[in-house]
Amino acid sequence: MPHDKTRLLDTQTALLLTLPPLFWAGNAVVGRLMVGQIPPLALSFYRWFFALAIALFIVGPDLWRHRAVLRSKWKSIAVMGVLGVGSYNSLQYVALETTTPLNVSLITSSAPVFILLIGGAFYKQAVGRAQWIGALLSIAGVALVVTQGDPAHLAALHFAPGDLIMLVAVFLWAIYTWELRQRPLGLAPMTSLAAQMIWGVLSILPFMLAERWIGGQVTHWGPQVWAALAYVAVLPSLLAYWCWGSAVGKVGAQIPSYFGNLAPLFAALLSWLFLGETIHWYHFWAAVLIFAGIHVALNTRRQTVPLEQEL
């Protein structure tokens, strides 16, 4: 009788699951490196514009074959594109203007618990006592990050703006995840992503233009900016998505959720190597609390809620 895949990981599958969090951590570091060189919304727009161009080259014919599905489900696709591609990624780059890649990765790691809580609040998903305990542990970890380990910051409401922006981004990502699950499109993963990217790019465009013409922020085009765009358009977008989806198809959804938690480790190492940023004691304990919360919340359910792919 068919059952969820539980066989041990082979080397190839382990590599497929390790590359996405490495690429996602690299995306956060690149976003931080590009501060002052390319505005955050311009970075988000060009990232997905170029990723979409590559995706259309690969799956364009498939999109045309499924045009009836795309027409009939355009509202769902639009919502997913605006939330998952447009809002989440744009807010992440805006957050990196005033916070660190490590903080962004740690806050993002709490996404599975946000997904559980959003499911309970808005999608009639039962949330038991263990899930609440897990949520509290992860929220404590996030609070440790945004207060920098000092409760006085909580009393004074002294947070890094980027940390708060990233919390909003993760909240929207959780809604996107449930929309994706509640309204499956019935398309191949890359085809579905391409359809969402179209709406995502369109949703970012007016804000990117406002950033330029109203905010006066300009892109300083040069080799570094082009290299950054090449990286974010290919590795954390298309290749990471393909690797993650391929691995989930082999081993199911639960094991990949743990590999996704490698992103803060990679973010810490990459930030130390390329940005010279210090890893503080509260980062370590925040990671312990967040991962403990995820472990409690996800592993006491009969049917686990899988961690969705990053975008």
pLDDT score at 2: 44
pLDDT score at 279: 76
pLDDT score at 289: 79
Q: How far apart are CA 243 and CA 263, in angstroms?
A: 15
Residues of the chain below pLDDT 70: 1-9, 127, 146, 153-159, 248-249, 252-258, 260-261, 294, 297-311
Q: How far apart are CA 90 and CA 269, in angstroms?
A: 24
pLDDT score at 38: 97
Residues contacting residue 258 through CB under 8 Å, at least 6 positions apart:
none
Q: How far apart are CA 24 and CA 13, in angstroms?
A: 18
Which of 38, 79, 27, 34 has the alpha carbon at shortest distance from 208? Answer: 38
Per-residue tokens: 177 = 């995840």
Please report the DSSP string for 47-58 in residue order: HHHHHHHHHHHH
pLDDT score at 294: 67
Residue 3's alpha-carbon distances to 7, 198, 244, 246, 252, in angstroms, are 11, 36, 20, 18, 10
Which of 309, 93, 74 has the alpha carbon at shortest distance from 199? Answer: 74
Query: Alpha helices of the chain — where are they, by DSSP H?
Result: 11-33, 40-65, 67-72, 74-80, 88-95, 101-109, 111-122, 129-146, 151-155, 161-182, 189-213, 223-233, 240-251, 254-259, 263-274, 281-299
Phi/psi at 308 (nearest 5 deg)?
A: -75, 160
The gap between the terminal CA atoms of the chain, to the nearest Å, is 34
pLDDT score at 196: 93
Q: How far apart are CA 302 and CA 195, in angstroms?
A: 33
Annotated domain spans of the chain: 15-299
Residues contacting residue 178 through CB under 8 Å, at least 6 positions apart:
115, 118, 119, 122, 123
Q: How far apart are CA 122 and CA 177, in angstroms?
A: 12
